[in-house]
């Protein structure tokens, strides 16, 4: 008997922000045995957010891929490899999804260089976490993410292609967490 349930992806960064995609249904979820980390690649001079197996858990968004049509999402996530996840790694039952996949940076692209993090990219991620998980969820995002580097402040002229309009309170929330981390800020 064919499985009519759609596959799904687990987004843990910009894909948590529903304003950056139209995949539905979608719902918040927690994935055990993984952590977020900033990775540098040869593909661009700014860090990518990735995930890797590790003790602990991370919040994110589970979203369906109707019709098993991964093409647009794979183009968006071209620097990443798509890999399957065990549905038992989620805190919630996943009876609605046939399978779940996650995007992680392709090791072939990684470099030891230390690229800064685009603030316009981070703003999109934080906005998504605020909308899905509230301020406590934003705090968990910062606490469960490794590999922080300098911040490239591009808010005045965003370089991230899916940047979003931000409320003053959203900018202030990101800025407060960055200040607590004590990261250097590069202003072009």
The domain spans of the chain are 8-186
**Measured in whole angstroms, how far is the alpha carbon of residue 179 from the centre of its chain?**
21
76 is written with which tokens? 């968006």
Could you give phi then psi for residue 22, rounded to 5 degrees? -120, 30
Return the DSSP state at 3: -
pLDDT by residue (tens digit) across 132-169?
A: 999 999 999 999 999 999 999 999 999 999 999 999 99
pLDDT the model gives residue 110: 85
Cα 57 from chain centre: 14
Taking domain 8-186, whether its CATH number is 3.10.490.10 is answered by yes
Q: Are 37 and 142 a contacting pair, CB within 8 Å?
A: no
Mean pLDDT of all residues in the chain?
Answer: 92
pTM: 0.93
Question: Per residue in 82-128, pLDDT tens?
Answer: 999 987 788 777 777 888 999 999 888 888 888 999 999 999 999 99
């Amino acid at each position: 008997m064919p499985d009519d349930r759609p596959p799904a992806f687990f987004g843990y960064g910009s894909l948590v922000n529903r304003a950056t995609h139209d995949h539905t249904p979608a719902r918040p979820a927690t994935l055990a045995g993984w952590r977020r980390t900033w990775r540098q690649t040869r593909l661009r001079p700014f860090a990518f957010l990735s995930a890797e197996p590790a003790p602990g858990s991370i919040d994110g968004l589970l979203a369906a891929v109707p019709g098993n049509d991964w093409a647009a999402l794979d183009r968006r996530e071209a620097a990443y490899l798509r890999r399957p996840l065990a549905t038992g790694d989620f805190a919630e039952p996943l009876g609605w999804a046939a399978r779940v996949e996650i995007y992680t940076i392709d090791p072939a692209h990684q470099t030891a260089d230390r690229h800064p993090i685009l603030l316009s990219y981070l703003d999109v991620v934080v906005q998504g976490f605020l909308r899905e998980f509230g301020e406590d969820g934003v705090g968990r995002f910062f606490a469960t993410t490794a590999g922080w580097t300098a911040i490239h402040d591009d808010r005045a002229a965003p370089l991230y292609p899916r940047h979003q309009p931000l409320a003053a309170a959203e900018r202030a929330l990101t800025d407060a967490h960055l200040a607590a981390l004590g990261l250097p800020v590069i202003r072009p």
